[in-house]
């Protein structure tokens, strides 16, 4: 059996009881360490979950997963995913490859940025297309995220902007960096900055692009939301975050 287990957003204490029980039966436990960032060290995670955990790089998951799937044909193996296995970064391909190897798969869900963002007070059903803001590099300056944002805004919908993560290089795009990309194409619009959502020290602030770019949001992961047309209840909810308007 291959278990794909969501860890939630903060640390090992966010795992569900079902996830913890599954881990206790596994011969080996892995974690993909490239789609987000936990707010604890690897050693602390092992202590919280009571097991040895092997880190998997993106290359290991996408190109070298064969030996792990073969082992899962005869043993219980767990792969931990920060957030939810089918959240912001899905593992559908991994699920399908396991099926092709005749490996039974059980998915154990948890909170991800895609549903926890509801904490802002913006209704989830009023969000449009989620966009990702990548680091620009030489000969790589994509602007598709701007197209997604402008389309959402034209329809009065909110936009969740996922900021680039290059875990192997320990690069995590911050809110000021993300705003710098948005300012290239957008007017000085309202934006919500979110840091460490779901953790005890989560930090949320609402303001204009020109204002929030100078705010220190602390440690990543960071996320940006551009509100669309607001319902009165949404406006009232956002008032509690208006520290920097």
Structure letter (DSSP) for residue 14: G
Domain boundaries, the chain: 2-111, 114-241
The sign of the torsion formed by the CA atoms of 101, 105, 111, 116 equals positive
**3-class SS of residue 30:** strand
Asked if 2-111 and 114-241 have one fold, the answer is no
Superfamily of domain 114-241: Tetrapyrrole methylase, C-terminal domain (3.30.950.10)
**Per-residue model confidence as pLDDT tens digits over 133-178:** 999 988 888 889 999 999 999 999 999 999 999 988 889 999 999 9
pLDDT truncated to tens, each residue of the chain (245 aa)? 999 999 999 999 999 999 999 999 999 999 997 888 999 999 999 999 999 999 998 888 888 899 999 999 999 999 999 999 998 777 899 999 999 999 999 999 999 999 999 999 999 999 999 999 999 988 888 889 999 999 999 999 999 999 999 988 889 999 999 999 999 899 999 999 999 999 999 999 999 999 999 999 999 999 999 999 999 999 999 998 876 54
Q: Which helix (H) or strand (E) holds 95?
A: helix 92-100
CATH classification of 2-111 is 3.40.50.300, yes or no?
Answer: no
Residues 6+ apart with CB under 8 A from 5: 15, 19, 22, 23, 78, 79, 80, 81, 85, 108, 110
């Amino acid at each position: 059996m291959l278990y794909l287990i969501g860890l939630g957003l903060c640390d090992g204490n966010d795992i569900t009881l079902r996830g913890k029980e599954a881990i206790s039966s596994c011969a080996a436990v892995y974690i993909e360490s490239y789609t987000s960032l936990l707010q604890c060290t690897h050693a602390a995670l092992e202590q919280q979950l009571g097991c040895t955990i092997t880190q998997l790089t993106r290359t290991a998951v996408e190109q070298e997963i064969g030996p792990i799937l073969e082992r899962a044909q005869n043993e219980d193996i767990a792969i931990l995913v920060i957030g939810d296995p089918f959240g912001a970064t899905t593992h559908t391909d991994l699920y399908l490859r396991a099926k092709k190897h005749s490996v039974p798969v059980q998915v154990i869900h948890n909170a991800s940025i895609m549903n926890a963002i509801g904490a802002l007070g913006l209704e989830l059903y009023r969000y449009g297309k989620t966009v990702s803001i990548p680091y620009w590099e030489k000969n790589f300056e994509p602007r598709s995220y701007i197209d997604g944002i402008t389309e959402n805004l034209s329809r009065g919908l909110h936009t969740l902007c996922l900021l680039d993560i290059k875990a192997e290089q320990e690069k995590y795009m911050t809110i000021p960096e993300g705003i710098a990309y948005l300012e290239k194409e957008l007017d000085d619009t309202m934006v919500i900055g979110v840091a460490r959502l779901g953790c005890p020290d989560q930090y949320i602030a609402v303001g204009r692009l020109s204002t929030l770019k100078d705010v220190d949001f602390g440690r990543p992961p960071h996320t940006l939301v551009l509100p669309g047309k607001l319902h009165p209840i949404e406006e009232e909810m956002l008032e509690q975050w208006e520290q920097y308007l």
